[in-house]
Amino acid sequence: MNLARYFWFSLSILLGLLIGLIFGSRFLPLPYEDLPMNTLRADYKTDYVLMTAEAYHGDHNIQQAQDMLRRLGPELPTYQVQQAMSKARELGYVSQDVDWMNQMLEDLQRISPTATPGGAP
């Protein structure tokens, strides 16, 4: 008798999950929203800046790196990188990652030396 109870209990749980997944995916799916990148948390922004620095380290295309960083918000790319480097140190990123971000920052500052952090050039 106990074995039959466990069988029906397990079967009802599995059927409930299956019906819930089908109903949720077919009839009530969550709407996709294309949120701007400036809504990302600081740690995700830092990861994005690091990925940009890694790509820059590979191809040394400063214009492409600058365009990628502009997606993060209205602040200047140099400011975005400075913020990311600060957060990277706080989160304990390895020194090579911070060095790559620093190299990208130096090259960004070379192409726009009069830029002030947080403002428009």
* Residue 119, helix vs strand vs coil: coil
Tokens for 96, please give them: 């090579």
pLDDT surpasses 80 at 67: yes
Percent of the chain with pLDDT over 90: 71
pTM over cut 0.85: no
What's the longest Cα–Cα distance across the chain? 81
pLDDT at residue 26 in the model: 87
Q: How far apart are CA 50 and CA 44, in angstroms?
A: 10
The answer to whether the beta carbons of residues 117 and 82 sit under 8 Å apart is yes
Region of residue 71 (phi > 0: left; psi between -120 and 50: alpha; otherwise: beta):
alpha
pLDDT at 113: 59
